[in-house]
Amino acid sequence: MWLSWESVRLLKPEKVKQDLVSGKHELIIVGAGPAGAMAAYWAASRGVDVTILDRAPVKRAKPCAGGLSTKALALLPFSVADIVERSTSHIIVGLGNNTGVALTAEGIICGFVVREDFDRHLLNHALKAGARLRRIEELRGLTLDPEQVQLEINGGEVLSTQYVIAADGANSRMRRLAVPHGAFSRGFALEGTISRSKLSFAPGMELNFGCPRLGYGWVFPKADHVNVGLYTSQETVRLSKDMLRDFASSKLGTDQVESIVGFPLGFGGASYRQTEERLLFAGDAAGMVEPLLGEGIYNAIRSGELAGLAVANALRQQRPARESYNASMRPLRRDLRRGEWVSKLFYRYLEEIGFKVLQNRVISAGLIRGYAAGRTFHQIIDRFALMPWQKPLQSDRIKELDSRDDSGCLPD
């Protein structure tokens, strides 16, 4: 995703170093979202010369529910305590607009951030690690050859680099230019915010499956507002602002939803294979969103890390980037395959089977314990018999948030 340039101005000036020279680069990363920032962080930390390209001609809100799963929190190599506004050990799951069942874990299952703050935080760490940031107006062309990559930007300026990581989101310009190997599709989400001052109660985290079709509606609490949104895994399912307002009214008692924005999500990462040595894809640009919940931050962080390390190793002649990246991405691809399989069955038979499974206390206990333990999809599914005995993850990143549990009012 392109990061709002106006938000970057909030960074300390000495940390925003722009690369104004068109000379030879070691690594250029297109996109400064979670995947791009983490690729930059890990590559720069290994001594790689990194330049991040990002553009945003107008100020805009960063569209994202802003939920950080336990596994995502544990994966980060630095603290996010300063920007996590709330956390929870409870989640309410319902069918349609109806209030459903409350699932409770012994530990934290999710932390909530404002996405723009989160992106800026990751980018700050990448810059501190030595990466540079450059604003560009346009990415016009791409040329690949065995020894280098050339990117044409702005009015025709050409940047030469040994490697490129494309992390520019579900609408990736790099994807359109390069057409990487693997299936790719998009889902869609629509979200807005409601000020807490307009609410008569403190809501907790809530997911309502089947509202809309082949997806769910969500309520995520933040410090001074609540995020409310709709998600579908299919491009063909239409979402509207009126649908979002109706959902907000049913869940929160008001339809006064502000700052409504829509955004695509990139799927298909289970079939993504790295075919080029010098151009790697990460995050939504590689289809790394899992389709059941539309959660993409963990896979963005992880794929960005693996891409950055693959390039760093290749530049130090330890192993070709293509080979290294393909090998290290196998667990993510396996996890996405499990997610695709579960998602198809769950939404296809939602009323008959899917939601009834969530209402089963034994199954729901295993799911919520696995989630709180930071397990991935394939780990939960393949080892489900062990999930009821899983202990909550107790990493430093999780312990920092123990005092911020804002689970809201659970139903009696």
What is the pLDDT at residue 191? 94
What is the per-residue burial (b if ≥16 Cβ within 10 Å, else e) of 19-34? beeeeebbbbbbbbbb
Cα 408 vs. chain centroid, distance in angstroms?
24
Query: Does the structure show a pLDDT above 90 at 166?
Result: yes
Q: Which of 265, 264, 271 is nearest to 180 (CA)?
A: 271
What is the pLDDT at residue 8? 35
Separation CA 51–CA 277 (nearest Å): 19
Instruction: Pull the structure tokens for residue 279.
Output: 């151009």
Residue 282 and residue 326 in contact, taking contact as beta carbons nearer than 8 Å: no
DSSP letter string, 214-237 = TEEEEEEE-SSEEEEEEEES-TTS
Q: How many CB atoms lie within 10 A of CB 58?
A: 7
What phi, psi does 365 have (nearest 5°)?
-65, -40
Residue 70 and residue 170 in contact, taking contact as beta carbons nearer than 8 Å: no
Task: Kindly indicate the confidence band of residue 107, based on its pLDDT and cuts at 50, 70 and 90.
Answer: confident
SS3 190: strand
Query: Does the structure show a pLDDT above 90 at 305?
Result: yes
Domains and CATH numbers, the chain: 5-61+116-184+268-328 (3.50.50.60), 88-109+186-267+342-404 (3.30.9)
3-state percent breakdown (helix, strand, coil) of the chain, nearest 5: 35, 25, 40
What is the pLDDT at residue 242? 97
Task: Kindly indicate the confidence band of residue 409, based on its pLDDT and cuts at 50, 70 and 90.
Answer: very low
Task: Kindly indicate the confidence band of residue 382, based on its pLDDT and cuts at 50, 70 and 90.
Answer: confident
Share of residues in the chain with pLDDT > 70 (%) = 90
Separation CA 380–CA 362 (nearest Å): 14
Task: Kindly indicate the confidence band of residue 94, based on its pLDDT and cuts at 50, 70 and 90.
Answer: very high
Query: Does the structure show a pLDDT above 80 at 57?
Result: no
pLDDT digits (tens, 9 = 90+) for 191-240: 999 999 999 888 999 999 999 989 999 999 998 999 999 999 888 899 99
Which run of H or of E encompasses 279?
Answer: strand 279-281
Segment 63-72 mean pLDDT: 85
Q: How many CB atoms lie within 10 A of CB 326?
A: 18
Instruction: Pull the structure tokens for residue 86.
Output: 């709330």
Provide the β-strand partners of residue 144: 149
Cis-peptide into 212, omega within 30 deg: yes
Instruction: Pull the structure tokens for residue 238.
Output: 């239409």
Q: Residue 111 — left, alpha, or beta (φ > 0 → left; ψ -120 to 50 → alpha)?
A: beta
pLDDT digits (tens, 9 = 90+) for 19-44: 334 568 999 999 999 999 999 999 99
Which run of H or of E encompasses 262?
Answer: strand 258-267
